[in-house]
Structure 1
Amino acid sequence: MPDQYEQVPDTEVLQDRADRPVVRVGGTVHRPVQPWTPAVHALLNHLAAVGFPYSPRVLDVLPAAGTGSPATEVVTYLAGESGPAGWAKVVDEQGLRAAARLLRDYHQAVADWSPAQPPAWSGGRTGTGGPGELVCHNDFGPWNIVWNDVTPVGLLDWEYAGPGPVMQDVAYALEYVAPFRDDEECVRWLRYPGPPDRRRRLEIFAAEYGLSDTTGLANEVIAIQRAGLDFVRQLAEEGHERQVELVAAGHLTEIADRIRWSEDHRHLFD
């Protein structure tokens, strides 16, 4: 835990990473400010203004605690179940449908956002996108949804937000909720009672999101997987601590194996 929180009551470490510790202090969440934090705050303030109820609200930016340390953002804490608990929520078809509606509602809330000052995002892009694009969440998975039973009550971790095609978020989500994983992983790690009906689950998510056609969705997911591999490699080469650790731990090989599985089992989704 960062030193400044050692004696603070009602404090809980939510993410224990040296580069980006996240700490709950009462009903608030504190994390280090990053270069893209102003863009994320602009997005969150827009979502608050249009009444999107699932995003944290920006409360403050505290000055750096000492020389060489970053400033700290303060946002509201969203109570509920998240993280690893989220996987079981989307096994239930009710939770699967609810997740798709949450993504749809977010996209509707952000579709017309056009701030006067173009935001600068973590991926290097600026603005809110060109034709057919909007500001994607870019990490929309069961672990980043806050749940009350199988009902979403919040959406977390906006640090990877940035402009992209609408299908970028949809395909990213489908990798994890269809899911594009082998039977053993589905049963052992993802809380499925048996091999999932992936085609049915893809169709359910697509329909609840509002898609009238599922043609090509498997290809979209595989493209997102490939882009994810390239992104991790790029960030590691640039020296970002988290990605350097992931590459050293063999994460690129793991992603490549998943891509091969998706390519070899496309028939389960088409």
Structure 2
Amino acid sequence: MAHARVTTVGDRVHRPAGWWTPTVHALLHHLRDVGFTRAPEPLGVVDGQEVLGFIPGASGAAGWQRVVPEAGLRALARLLREYHQAVAGFVAPADARWALADGPARPGQVICHGDFGPWNVVWDGLTPVGLIDFDFAQPGDALDDVAYALEYVAPFRDDVHAMRWQGFDSPPDRARRIAVFAEEYGLATVDGLVEAVIRRQTTTAVHVRALAERGLEPQRTWVAQGFCDELADRVQWSTDNQALFTSPPAG
């Protein structure tokens, strides 16, 4: 769900700003102030472009291969735990505007990253050195970020997709990968995680439609091209294949 038209000039990244950018920059300042230096440094907004400090490393599609090994999967889970710990003290202003919500977090909520996947991590080998693209940060249950990540890293996709597009050389042991992620993040149990992922998959479609209605790209094009049907198919596949996530693969 990332935005296009991102350019890097020297040690600065220029990205399209949105109505959420001032609130996100306040969040980024907080993260760096409390010692979470893997968030980009916010440098302001110029001519409709937000300017951020560049974090060198591998990101985007290169991230998929990094979470296939268990060491990379664990590192991703630790990054999410450390982000949630760092963001816990952030109090957004009452008039905070996020891409998909308004206002500060309520008691019991955190500011979720909202798009926490290996493509939005900057990697040095199997070590995450940056967490980027906070456009869809918003107040929510920390478990929402966990579930969002698990959809992609368990993954909640069939074996063909996992091996063709996500770098697995054999069918993934999804149940173990969920357990590993949960353990490293700090959850006491995996109970309810599969259901949480399916709920989060359903929410993703709601978010895509909401952003499309606000005129954002690529979401507007996705809706026009029927992408929400694919999102519904993903929910159905996850629902129909829940046994894959609670037992080791056959063979």
Give the alignment of 1:1-270 within 5 angstroms: 17=4, 21-62=5-46, 64=47, 70=48, 72-115=49-92, 118-127=95-104, 129-270=105-246
Structure with larger Rg: 1
Hey, what's the Cα distance between the residues in 1 that align with 2:217 and 2:114? 20
Hey, what's the Cα distance between the residues in 2 that align with 1:16 and 1:265? 31
CA offsets 1:191-237 (integer angstroms, 9 cap, x no match): 00010000000000000000011101000000000011122123324
CA offsets 1:151-210 (integer angstroms, 9 cap, x no match): 000001000001001101000010011110000000111000010000000000000000
Which residue type is aligned with residue 17 of structure 2? Answer: V
Hey, what's the Cα distance between the residues in 1 that align with 2:92 and 2:232? 38
Structure 1: runs of 5 or more not aligned:
1-14, 65-69
Hey, what's the Cα distance between the residues in 1 that align with 2:57 and 2:209? 33
Deviation at 1:56, TM superposition (A): 0.4
Structure 2: runs of 5 or more not aligned:
247-251
Secondary structure at 1:24 match in 2: strand
Which residue type is aligned with residue 128 of structure 2? Answer: P
Normalising by structure 2, we get a TM-score of 0.93
> Is the alpha carbon distance of 1:16 and 1:217 closer, same or farther for their aligned partners in structure 2, counting shifts above 3 Å?
closer
Which residue type is aligned with residue 151 of structure 1? Answer: T
Q: 2:94, 2:103 within 8 Å by CA — same for their partners in 1?
A: no
Secondary structure at 2:218 match in 1: helix
Q: 2:95, 2:102 within 8 Å by CA — same for their partners in 1?
A: no
In terms of mean alpha carbon deviation, does 176-185 or 26-35 score higher? 26-35
RMSD across aligned C-alpha pairs, in angstroms? 1.5
Residue matched to 1:10: none
Deviation at 1:241, TM superposition (A): 3.5
**Identity value in percent:** 51
